[in-house]
Structures are given as C-alpha cells and as structure tokens.
Amino acid sequence: MTLQTGDRVEIQYRGRTVEGVVKMASENGRSLFLEFEALLGGYAGSMPVLGEDDGVYRDLIVGAEVRLRKL
C-alpha cells in the first residue's frame, strides 16, 4: 500500500485507533507525516512515521509499530 499526501487513514498505535490524514508523504510513500485530532502515545495531533522494507511503519521517536489503513 502506497500512501500519498491527502489520503485519509485509520491509525492504530499502542492499542488506540483514530482517523487521520497524511499531511506529507515522500515520493515513495515510506516517509509520512500524519495528522489527527487526538493524543496517541505522547503525540499531540501529529506523528512522523517511516516505513521499513517489510512494509511495517514505525514512529520516529521510540520505533513502535504504527498500523495504517487507507479509508
């Protein structure tokens, strides 16, 4: 799944699920900046994530898995 700027997504992080939007995405969709209206594990309203070779996204601060589903 390649995500692009403007895509609406469901974000699952540390047991919580919220809706958000991809505010910025690299050309290959591996580096994303997500925006949402919530607190997620210490992130207030936004979160940078990086996709690994196996397709798993991780937050840039602690490296926890971030599951994304395009809406």
| pLDDT band for position 6 (cuts 50, 70, 90) | very high
Q: Check whether 14 has a pLDDT greater than 90.
A: yes
The pLDDT tens digits for 18-57 are: 999 999 999 998 999 999 999 998 999 999 999 998 889 9
**Token duo for residue 68:** 């994304």
Q: HSE of 34 in the Cβ direction (CA atoms, 13 Å)?
A: 33
| pLDDT band for position 62 (cuts 50, 70, 90) | very high
Nearest to 51 by CA among 63, 40, 39, 42: 63
Q: Would you state the pLDDT for residue 55?
A: 85
The rounded distance, in Å, linking the Cα atoms of 21 and 44 is 14
Q: 65 CB contacts (<8 Å, ≥6 apart)?
A: 13, 56, 57, 58
pTM over 0.75: yes
